[in-house]
């Protein structure tokens, strides 16, 4: 009985959180692959899991300069085959043929050293990586 009540309570919380995100428009903009999250550095673009997104100073002209080993540490924010860019959101083609989301012309990446949603461990890394600001 207690386990069932607890399960029902948890299900209601998850449902309410999902509705709140939807109502807030976090992922409501058509084609937007990210939302705005709160971190210790202020508002930051985050992926669907709430993980901070970053930009790389060496990227130029809508082209990623982070490939191979770099991309293993800084995974690109992937754009699915059917994804459609809109507004400030664009899709770039990477050297390996995959597609990556960009915001205001800057390709977006996660950082493998961020352990949980809201972490911003990669901000300022080697003075060329920065949290993506909305």
How do residues 48-67 score in pLDDT, each as one tens digit? 999 999 999 999 999 999 99
> Does 95 score more than 70 pLDDT?
yes
d(CA 79, CA 90): 9
Write down the pTM of the prediction.
Answer: 0.77
What does the domain layout of the chain look like in residue ranges?
A: 1-30, 33-131
DSSP of 36-93: EEEETTEEEEE-TTS-B-EEETT-BTTB----THHHHHS-B-B--TT----TTEEEEE
> Does 11 score more than 60 pLDDT?
no
d(CA 88, CA 62): 12
């Amino acid at each position: 009985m207690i386990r069932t009540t607890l399960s029902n309570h948890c299900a209601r919380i998850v449902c309410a959180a999902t509705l709140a995100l939807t109502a807030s428009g976090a992922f409501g903009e058509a084609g937007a692959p990210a939302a705005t999250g709160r971190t210790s550095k202020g508002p930051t673009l985050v992926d669907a899991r709430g993980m901070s997104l970053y930009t790389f100073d060496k990227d130029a002209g809508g082209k990623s300069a982070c490939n191979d080993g770099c991309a293993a540490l800084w995974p690109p924010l992937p754009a699915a085959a059917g994804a459609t860019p809109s507004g400030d959101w664009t899709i770039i083609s990477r050297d390996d043929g995959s597609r990556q989301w960009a915001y205001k012309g800057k390709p977006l990446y996660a950082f493998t050293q961020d352990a949980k949603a809201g972490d911003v461990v990669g901000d300022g890394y080697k003075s060329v990586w920065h949290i993506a600001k909305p």
